[in-house]
Amino acid sequence: MQGLLGKPLGRVHWSNKAAKTGPLAHRPDNSAFMQQRLPAWSPMLTTSTVLPFMYCMAVLCLVVGVSLLITVQGTQEMKLDYTEAGTCNNCFQSLKNVSNAGKSCSCRVVFTLEHEFKGDVFFYYGLQNFHQNLRKYMDSRDDAQMVGRKQNLKNPSSYCEPYIRDEKDVPIAPCGAVANSMFNDSFALQYQGQPGDPINTVPLYRKGIAWYTDENVKFRNPPKNKSQTLAQVFEGTTSPPYWQKPVYLLDPLDATNNGFINEDLIVWMREAAFPNFKKLYGVLVRTQEPFTNGLPAGNYSIDIVYNFPVQYFKGRKQVVLSTVTWFGGQNRFLPIAYLVTSGLVFIIAIFLTVIWWKFGKDAKNMNE
Amino acid sequence: MYVHYSACTCMFVCELQRVYMYVCTCTTVHVHVSLNMHSVLLSQDNAIRTSKYNVFSFLPLNLFEQFQRLANAYFLVLLILQLIPEISSLSWFTTVVPLLLVLTMTAVKDASDDIVRDGRYYLLPLSECLSQADLLLLTSSEPLNLVYIETAELDGTFILKCVFPTGEVRCEPPNNRLDKFKGTLTVNGQTYALDNDKVLLRGCTLRNTEWCFGLVVFGGPDTKLMQSSGKTVFKRTSIDGLMNVLVLCIFGFLAVMCSILAVGNAIWEVREGSVFIAFLPRPNGVNAGFSAFLTFWSYVIILNTVVPISLYVSVEIIRLGNSFYIDWDRKMYYPKSDTPAQARTTTLNEELGQIKYIFSDKTGTLTQNIMTFNKCSINGKSYGRSIGEKTQTVDFTWNELADPKFVFHDPSLVELVREGDLAAQHFFRLLALCHTVMPEEKTEGELYYQAQSPDEGALVTAARNFGFVFRSRTPESIRIMEMGQEVTYDLLAVLDFNNVRKRMSVIVRSPKGKLILFCKGADTIVYERLHPSCLKLKDTTTSHLNEYAGDGLRTLALAYKDLDDDYMEDWRRRHHEANIAMDGKEERLDELYEEIEKDLMLLGATAVEDKLQDGVPQTIEQLAKADIKIWVLTGDKQETAENIGYACNMLREDMTEVFIVAANTAEGRDVTTSISCFANVITHNSSPKAYALEKDLELELLRTACMCQTVICCRVTPLQKAQVVELVKHYKQAVTLAIGDGANDVSMIKAAHIGVGISGQEGMQAVLSSDYSFAQFRYLQRLLLVHGRWSYLRMCKFLRYFFYKNFTFTFVHFWYAFFCGFSAQTVYDEWFITLYNLVYTALPVLGMSLFDQDVNDRWSSQHPQLYSPGQLNLYFSKKAFVRCMMHSCYSSLILFFIPWAAMYDTVRDDGKDIVDYQSFALLAQTCLLIAVTIQLSLDTHYWTAVNQFFVWGSLSAYFAITFTMYSNGMFLIFTSTFPFIGTARNSLNQPNVWLTILLTSILCALPVVAYRFTLIQLWPTINDKVQVRHKVRKEALPAPAPRRPPVRRISTRRSGYAFSHAQGYGELVTSGRFLLRRPQKIRTALLFPQSDSPLSQGQPQHIHKG
């Protein structure tokens, strides 16, 4: 019967690897991995690790909290809501009338610094209840245009909806809702030590206020020939509808601070994460008296060109003067949070110690 | 009703236990049945496709199948949502990248499965005769076309089959009755009835038959075996079920969250958005209501990470990994047969850690199905080694005809026999004469015995080795060698065995003319029939029998009686009359047997050991300690099963009430309700019906059975095995495991949650339908207590952590919604959202769920109680899930509000911006990633180098990828895709950012540490206790207990008498059918006496024998 087939049939093995032969051909390898015997570290939550760790944590948090608190106490900050303050109330009222939108309005607010602001002083403008973090709003920009792509200058991305082109179908540069809503109040700070003293204009350095990477990589003007002026480069585009000045004339004083690399624009384009935010406007120049040590105590006034309408969205506008430390601005949350955490951890640690003392020490539970 | 059943004219040629199929002409139906043969014979021109795909159909078909899965379809819908610009809150790639990855991985897995499937049939072991079809036997190599087959897989016995010639076959439709076959065969105009004796069922094995021809009647799924094997159902674990419920809950929860946010958006749009339109004009036709509607869908996209697509992939990977560990385990590798354990299903691992009920087969699973003649008591003296005693084996070389495999440990018995002790010689003479064994002697001196039960084989072999060699038999005589001298006895009568008689006798006439009755049977039965003169011997023998029974041996009492000629003459006449009587034949025969089997002289007793597999009692003991209930379901007789129950420690002497339920009849109900007990043996009476478990008795049976420590079901058919399993599955809601080795176990293996096949000598049927297979029963302990436990632990840890990390991730979005005007702005960078599940957190959690072990394997075997959390579903349940969500909620509050408050109104150390959206996104995502990584570290118990690498590697990868994506180059090349240029450089160099990260980490981790520490101190779990003992106190593992023999029981019950075969063989060996070679015509007339069969209403079918 063997002849029927011509070949004998044996048991065919499942494995077609046939790597090994012999009686133990299918024996699994004796490797630590395959036998699940990999050397390992098995930490446990034992008393000797957890309790010391807890107390250490409490101490660590306490140390961090105290040192941070000391640091933060060293910063000084002055906030001034100028939405309706001083003569700005007039501007506020007049802007309520929509027909006055776009008209310039100047006003002045005054304040007094009780103490000297030592060191570098930063001048911020702040907005409250302005939602730079709305999804549609944030998306409404074209990074390719802002990085100076010729292509995108004239054909802004569809992301810029609804500010891609104006009614005449001229492309907007910079396009999008973010750029269109750029904060356009301007400030001039004056110092008068005592009433009757001479009025000093506080010099503010208006450059170097944006991130280095934004200034040098993310925002670039479109390439131009040597012969071309910036205005020529932007020819064929129009400025966003809410703007009073075209993008190439944003800084009348410094020609290199115009176009997409204007620092105010860059600062504005870095959208805030929350509806209340402040943005850097300028840094005190400490080259001349009496500002070499910072801002002296005394009376100050700010001349404001009041353009930015906040009444539509129940917003508020502020100016903020602040010094900084290695820890940043004056935010006391972290130091206090560390101190509270330290307390909590300490209480928990004591609680755990008690539990261990009463129940776990003699390991009664463990032996049952 | 009989249907015309089409069979193809395939012929099988069976040769030396192999099947070759010889194909003449093949019609349609059964070609696929015998695929493996085809592949050999017709592989060139007649290949048959079993794979699902080909090269071209693969992609479309596979994609179509994949999108039929709910989860994938859901993600497709998400993708479509994202393509609607009004709704799209995330870029398309956040969904496409994971979806593509998942689809690709699944497709690769499907393709490899398909390739395996393609080859599977060709690899079927051909050594299993009749592996694919039920055959009608045509002719064979043996005298009178007899075929020896072993159907141990079907009903545990050997039977002999007869044959018939060719013709046209009509038969019943496929059904599950293994014991019945009805059909007719028409040859040359004559019709013959076909019954069960003429069919070779799939699953039996040819023995000692060179070849046979057969005709396929049922093939493949139509075979009786497959019909009674139950349906193959796609098995899912209970965790799978829970996961599906949870995913549905999560969908509901997602809808609630999105609705809340949509309402929030509507309110915001009315109160704030309407006045903000100066800066952000609304698109035409969008009012607050419509905006809320769009917002709902936008948030569906953002928050979909609560059901991440990678969940399903990760679960599959973990299961696959844990399956590989089973394949690789050396401690489950059986060197003798070179068989490693095999996880044939890779989707059920964690269920191995939750088993509550084990249903085990007996023969071949608990026992080796090898009987050995261990001891005997002759004339009041016991021979044979006691357990544990070391003695030399007996040298049988003086006996040329001895079976070299036979081992006996008491040389004194041989000496006794050789010295010519009459009692001893008579003892072995009895063993050589009183049986129904068929001998086979192909060449001089090479003897093979075909025994109906292994017990009988063992006894006759023992006699053979002690010099009483049974050589051949005719219907009228038995030829034996007595100490080298050939003696032929006339066989006058065989008083056959049956369940009531529990004994068998032969009446022989020696060459000297002496008439002797030899009787062997259950001791209680034989004792009743002894001559009063044996009283003293009886007492001694009884004590020996008690001793043997205490050792778990199967005993028989042997007795003889000299008869006188006159009486015998008379008895034979009456016997003949009774035999030909039309009615009351059975009763009359019984009376006659009773009459002659009395006043017997006791010779002694035999003790046969039904050899257990190695380590079975220990394994059962350990599993019982793990609170796993073990039920033995066997086709064996009650006595056999009970004896095994004692042998493997399932039944013990201290179990006071062993009771038996005949669950088949209405009276069974009275029994079940009236007895409360410690241990039970449940018996299903041998029932002709396949549906023995009737509805009204089911619950009664279950209730009683579950009160018992031990349940043994005997005489159960394969279908009933499955029914018992289904019963427990259905009413107890418990996870069940069935373990067996033969084709008769296939049904329960398929029915149980987990089916385990023992890959032994019984063929591959059980293994092929099982989920896990290995070679020895004792590996079950490791499979459950080690692999199962770890798999369950790992899966649960994985799920808890996975839901934690994704809920935390998602909830932060929810909190941010309250600050961004519900505008569906994400907190994190879109790339972070894309890569969070796929890259940053994928490997650490995989590492944990592939390597984690709370205690090592030796300790989990040492403490079977460690298994109980799985049975109680402690590690992952709805409750655990809710806890997980609350934990996520807490963490997300920390992870959002701490950074929010810490960054509020602050600036960089150079006065520049740091509260911009991009910096905050980076801060929030870094906090999140570090917090969930710390959580993972707290969950990981077993830090291998791989875990360290994965955790630290993922964190480093996060920073590396982040810095790369936020680099100048990426921005300049893909300007709109990577707008986060410089964010990492500008904010990660700020001390306040890092201090924020530190604070969130502390606040996320400390409560967990404190909570766990408190739990360990106040309510330590068994795991904690074992870990403390193991790791802290460095307790050494107790030395493994030596394989001590079970303590001897003093037993008075000996139910396990050594008979395990069915009645009817006495008739067969005396009928002479098996020996006479007669002309074909006479034979057929004899075999098919009813020439006009009542089965002829069906339509004829023509089968031509080639």
Select the residue from A14, A38, A45 to test the B interface by mutation, using most B Cβ atoms within 10 A: A45
Query: Mean pLDDT over all residues of chain B?
Result: 76
B865 touches chain A (CB under 8 A): no
Q: Do A4 and B278 touch (CB under 8 A)?
A: no
* Contact residues on chain B for A26, CB-CB shorter than 8 A: 333, 338-340
In chain B, residues with a C-beta closer than 8 Å to the C-beta of A275 are 819, 821
Name, of B232-246, B671-685, B693-707, the range with top average pLDDT: B232-246
pLDDT in tens, A11-30: 333 444 445 677 788 889 88
pLDDT on residue B42? 29
Contact residues, chain B, for A333 at CB < 8 Å: 901-902, 904
Calculate how close chain A gets to B301, using CA atoms only, in Å. 14
Confidence of residue B788 (pLDDT cuts 50, 70, 90): very high
Cβ distance of A131 and B910 shorter than 8 Å: no
- Give per-residue pLDDT as tens, B331-381: 999 988 888 898 888 888 889 999 999 999 887 788 887 788 888 999 888
DSSP structure class, residue B1060: -
Residues of A in contact with B329 (CB under 8 A): 28, 34-35
- Residue B393 pLDDT class (50, 70, 90 cuts): confident
Query: Token match 């069960």: residue?
Result: B196
Contact between A65 and A342 (Cβ < 8 Å): yes
Test the B interface: residue of A20, A42, A324 with most B CBs within 10 Å: A42
ipTM exceeding 0.90? Answer: yes
Q: How far apart are CA B809 and CA A302, in angstroms?
A: 45
Quick one: pLDDT at residue B398? Answer: 81
Binding residues of B are 361-363, 456, 497, 520, 554, 634-636, 715, 721, 741, 744-745
More confident residue, A60 or B860: A60
Write out pLDDT tens, residues B84-111. 877 887 877 877 887 888 788 878 877 7
For residue B966, pLDDT beyond 70: yes
DSSP code of residue A216: I
Q: For residue B774, give the DSSP letter.
A: E
Cis peptide before B283 (omega within 30 of 0): no
For B88, list phi and psi in degrees, rounded to 5. -50, 110
Q: pLDDT tier at B1062 (50, 70, 90 boundaries)?
A: low
Sign of the C-alpha dihedral, residues B403, B404, B407, B409?
positive
For residue B173, pLDDT over 80 is answered with: no
Which residues of A fall within a CB distance of 8 Å from B127?
10-11
pLDDT band at residue B955 under the 50/70/90 scheme: very high
**B276 or A292: whose pLDDT is higher?**
A292
Report the SS3 class of residue B135.
Answer: strand
Q: Which two tokens stand for residue A234?
A: 């932007």
pLDDT at B407 over 70: yes
B127: nearest CB among A11, A27, A331 = A11
Both tokens assigned to B570: 């008379």
Phi-psi region of A337 (alpha: psi -120 to 50; beta: other; left: phi over 0): alpha
Q: What single-letter amino acid sits at B77?
A: V
Is residue A315 within 8 Å of residue A308, measured between CB atoms? no
Task: Indicate the residue of A7, A133, A218 with minimum beta-carbon distance to B819.
Answer: A133
Q: Over the stretch A178-194, which tens digit does the pLDDT of each residue have?
A: 999 999 899 999 998 78
DSSP string, B952-984: HHHHHHHHHHHHHHTSHHHHHHSTTT---TTHH
Could you confirm whether B361 is annotated as catalytic? yes
Count CA atoms closer than 13 A to B918's CA, side-chain side. Answer: 24
Q: Any CB–CB contact under 8 A between A6 and chain B? A: no
Distance between CA A164 and CA A183 in Å, rounded? 19
Please list every residue in chain B whose beta carbon sits closer than 8 Å to the beta carbon of residue A138.
825, 917
Greater model confidence, B581 or B989: B989
Identify the pLDDT of residue B898.
Answer: 95
First to last CA, chain B: 29
A18 close contact with B: CB closer than 8 A? no
Using one digit for the tens of pLDDT, what is the confidence trace for B224-254?
A: 766 665 556 677 788 888 888 888 899 899 9
CB contact under 8 A, B1013 and A50: yes
Q: What is the pLDDT of residues A124-138, one digit of tens each?
A: 999 999 999 998 899
pLDDT at residue A5, as a whole number:
33
Residue type for position B282 = R
Most trustworthy range by pLDDT among A7-16, A161-170, B112-121, B439-448: A161-170
> Does residue A213 carry a pLDDT above 60?
yes
Cα distance from A321 to chain B (closest Cα, Å)?
A: 11
Q: Would you call A75 an interface residue with chain B, using a CB distance cutoff of 8 Å?
A: no
Amino acid at A28: P
**Chain B contact present for A341, CB below 8 A:** yes
Please give the Cα distance from B1105 to A57 (Å, whole number): 90
Shortest CA distance to B712 belongs to which of B636, B823, B796? B636
Confidence of residue B1073 (pLDDT cuts 50, 70, 90): low
How far A93 CA lies from chain B's nearest CA (Å)? 17
Residue of A nearest to B941 (CA): A42
Q: Is A4 on the interface with B (CB under 8 A)?
A: yes
d(C-alpha B984, C-alpha B994), whole Å: 12
Q: For residues B885 and B657, what is the distance between their CA atoms, to the nearest angstrom?
A: 50
Q: Taking CB atoms and an 8 Å limit, are B911 and A214 in contact across chains?
A: no
Give the model's pLDDT for residue B733: 85
* Contact (CB<8Å) A1/B15: yes
A chain contacts of residue B916, beta-carbon cutoff 8 Å: 270-273
The secondary structure of residue A13, as a DSSP letter, is: P
Check B339 against A331: CB less than 8 A apart.
no
Task: Please say whether the beta carbons of A118 and A320 come within 8 A.
Answer: no
Mean pLDDT of chain A: 86
Q: Which of the two residues, B1074 and A63, has the higher pLDDT score? A: A63
Contact B943 A41 (CB under 8 A): yes
Beta strands per DSSP E along B510-600: 515-521, 554-563
Name the range with the highest mean pLDDT among A86-90, B120-124, B294-298, B365-369: B294-298
pLDDT at residue B14 tops 50: no
DSSP sequence for B184-214: EEEETTEEEEE-GGGEE-TT-EE-S--EEEE
Among B153-167, B221-235, B672-686, B726-740, where is mean pLDDT lowest? B672-686
pLDDT at A210: 93
**Interface contact A76, partner B, CB < 8 A:** no
* A136 chain-B contacts, CB cut-off 8 A: 280, 823
Residue pair A25/B327 in contact by the 8 Å Cβ criterion: no
Cβ of residue B580 closer than 8 Å to a chain A Cβ:
no
Residues in A 127-146 with any Cβ partner in B closer than 8 A: 129, 131-138, 140, 142-144
CA distance B787 to B857: 8
Query: A76 in helix, strand or coil?
Result: coil
B762: helix, strand or coil: coil
Task: Tell which wins on pLDDT, B207 or B520.
Answer: B520
Looking at chain A, the whole-number percentage of residues with pLDDT higher than 70 is 92
Looking at the complex, report in whole angstroms how far the Cα of residue A197 sits from the nearest Cα belonging to chain B. Answer: 30
> Residue-wise over B880-893: b if at least 16 C-beta within 10 A, else e?
bbeebbebbebbbe
Residues of A in contact with B1017 (CB under 8 A): 47, 352, 355-356, 359-360, 365
A327 at interface of B, judged by CB pairs closer than 8 A:
yes
pLDDT digits (tens, 9 = 90+) for B744-782: 788 888 889 999 998 866 566 778 788 899 988 999 999
Paired tokens of B229: 């094997």
Residues of B in contact with A217 (CB under 8 A): 968, 971-972, 981-982
Give me the helices (H) in B693-788, please.
695-707, 718-732, 746-751, 765-768, 779-781
The whole-number pLDDT of residue A322 equals: 92
B920 touches chain A (CB under 8 A): yes
B59, B75 contact by CB (below 8 A)? no
Kindly indicate the confidence band of residue A109, based on its pLDDT and cuts at 50, 70 and 90: very high
CA distance B14 to B25: 19
Q: Which residues make beta-bridge pairs with B147?
A: B161
Mean pLDDT lowest among B82-86, B608-612, B1079-1083: B1079-1083
pLDDT at B37 over 50: no
C-alpha–C-alpha distance, residues B822 and B1035, integer Å: 58
Position B545 confidence tier, pLDDT thresholds 50, 70, 90: confident
Mutation pick from A81, A135, A283, A367 vs chain B, by most beta carbons of B within 10 Å, is A135
Phi-psi region of A208 (alpha: psi -120 to 50; beta: other; left: phi over 0): left
A136/B979 touch (CB, cutoff 8 Å), yes or no: no
- Looking at chain B, the whole-number percentage of residues with pLDDT higher than 70 is 72
Residue B690 has pLDDT above 60, yes or no: no
Yes or no, beta carbons of A352 and B913 under 8 Å apart: no
> Residues B1090, B192: contact at Cβ < 8 Å?
yes
| Residues A187 and A125: beta-carbon distance below 8 Å | yes
A25–B907 C-beta distance less than 8 A: no
User: In the prediction, which pLDDT does B1069 show?
Assistant: 67
Task: List binding-site positions of B for ATP.
Answer: 361-363, 456, 497, 520, 554, 634-636, 715, 721, 744-745
Reply yes or no on whether the pLDDT at B1026 is more than 90: no
- B810: nearest Cα among B302, B313, B314, B311: B302
Residue range B1025-1035: average pLDDT?
74
Q: What is the pTM of this model?
A: 0.81
B36, pLDDT greater than 60: no
Single-letter residue type at B1028: V
Residue listed under structure tokens 């019967």? A1
Residue B467: C-alpha distances to residues B414, B486, B508 (Å): 9, 11, 19
Q: Which residue is catalytic, options B134, B155, B222, B361?
A: B361
Taking an 8 Å cut-off on Cβ atoms, the answer to whether A273 and B915 are in contact is yes
Would you say how long chain B is, in residues? 1106
Task: Dump pLDDT digits (tens) for B813-854.
Answer: 999 999 998 989 999 999 999 899 889 998 999 999 999 998
Percent of chain A surpassing pLDDT 90: 43
Cβ neighbours of B469 (radius 10 Å): 27
Q: What is the mean pLDDT of residues B571-588?
A: 83
Taking a contact as any Cβ pair under 8 Å apart, which residues of chain B between 113 and 152 contact chain A? 119, 122-127
Asked whether residue B671 carries a pLDDT value surpassing 50, the answer given is no
- Which helix (DSSP H) or strand (DSSP E) does residue B100 occupy? helix B93-120
Judging by DSSP bridges, how do beta strands A117-118 and A294-295 pair with one another?
antiparallel
pLDDT at residue B1099 tops 90: no
Interface residue A205 vs chain B (CB under 8 A):
no
Interface test with B, best of A68, A270, A312 (most B CBs within 10 A): A270
Alpha-carbon span B524 to B557, nearest angstrom: 8
**Radius of gyration over every alpha carbon of chain A, rounded to an integer in angstroms:** 34
With an 8 Å Cβ cutoff, is B276 touching chain A? Answer: yes
pLDDT digits (tens, 9 = 90+) for B111-163: 776 665 443 333 333 333 344 566 666 655 555 555 555 443 443 333 334 33
- Coil, strand or helix: which one is B361? coil
**For residues A305 and A312, what is the distance between their CA atoms, to the nearest angstrom?**
18
pLDDT of A69 above 60 = yes
Across A177-191, B429-443, B457-471, B976-990, least confident range: B429-443
Residue B896 and residue B812 in contact, taking contact as beta carbons nearer than 8 Å: yes
Mutation target among A24, A30, A133 for the B interface, most CBs of B within 10 A: A133
Q: Could you tell me the CA-to-CA distances from B349 to B239, B789, B845 in Å, in that order?
A: 10, 9, 18
- pLDDT above 50 (res B15): no
